[in-house]
Amino acid sequence: MNSPDKLVRLKAFNPDIRIEHVGDPGFSEYGILHTGLDKGILLNKAREIFNETDGTSYSASNIELENSPELPIIRRHIFGESEIQAGCCWGYSTSMKGMEYHRSSELLGAATDMVLILGRLPEVANGRWDSSHARFFFIPAGSFVELFSTTLHLAPCRVDENPFCAVIILPAGTNTPLDAGPAPAEEAISAGPLWMKNKWMLTHPEGPAAARGAYVGIDGVNWEVLPIGENLKQL
């Protein structure tokens, strides 16, 4: 099934949410769809490495991805020659669970079709974000999208019975443990406390990070994207 047909079916399976295409004008509030990058080697490598999981997993830095010949071009043209890391997020996620943001752009390469659930930092008030602000964007395989530093996001959602796979490129050290441990909840004055290096996070009460002590700062529905197909693996 090609991506346009998949989006049509995905919308039919999810009549209660509006799923937009990453190429639609509305995405410009959240990021940039990069069309001029040669990225086939990088995405193919990610599909080869990250294809088995029982849930949803994340690797912040992978040497095979970072040795891709495409990384120097991305480092120069997207990150201004700052030091970067290339990792991967992959798995069977279908729900929002929480929202994070960084003090930098994030470059996401879609090795498979997926849906991103996004929000905007200005929507956060006094450490709280209402999930009614959420927007849903279909990202076709082969796309590279830059998420602004003001864009709230978390793991992608799969769109069928197969796991999603996304290359995640960020400034070096992002999403690694803090030297002094997670910030206390009282630091969530405006937009959530620091959870990991260069990672501020709000979690939903139903999100797994809440049980690990992450700051619960999301009100409303824990949105779910129903994948295409029947008898799907629900994790």
For 4-27, the pLDDT digits (tens) are 789 999 999 999 999 999 999 999
Report the Cα–Cα distance between both ends of the chain, in Å, rounded.
23
Closest CA to 193 of 119, 98, 116: 98
Question: Residues with Cβ < 8 Å from 161, sequence gap 6 or more?
Answer: 227, 229, 232, 233
> Which residues are registered as beta bridge partners of 59?
88
Per-residue pLDDT band for 235 (boundaries 50, 70, 90) equals: very low
Q: In terms of DSSP bridges, do strands 218-219 and 129-130 run parallel, antiparallel, or are they unpaired? A: parallel
Structure tokens at 88: 């991967």
CATH ID of 32-219, from 3.40.50.920, 3.30.70.360, 3.40.50.300, 2.60.120.10:
2.60.120.10
Per-residue pLDDT band for 188 (boundaries 50, 70, 90) equals: low
Closest CA to 57 of 153, 164, 160: 164
Distances (CA, A) of 96 to 66, 121, 223: 28, 16, 5
CA distance 9 to 75: 36
CA distance 69 to 90: 22
Residue 79 pLDDT exceeds 90:
yes
* Sequential DSSP letters for 180-227: T-SPPGGG-SSS--EEETTEEEEE-TTSHHHHTT--B-EES---B-PP
Is 68 in contact with 41 (CB distance < 8 Å)? yes
Please compute the mean of the pLDDT values over residues 191-198 and round it to a whole number: 84
Is 182 in contact with 55 (CB distance < 8 Å)? no
Model-level pTM? Answer: 0.93
Distances (CA, A) of 77 to 101, 103, 107, 166, 196: 21, 18, 11, 20, 26
Please compute the mean of the pLDDT values over residues 66-89 and round it to a whole number: 95
Per-residue pLDDT band for 232 (boundaries 50, 70, 90) equals: very low
* In the chain, where the domains are located: 32-219
Rounded (5°) CA angle 194-180-64: 75
pLDDT at 132: 98
Helix or strand holding residue 155 (H, E): none
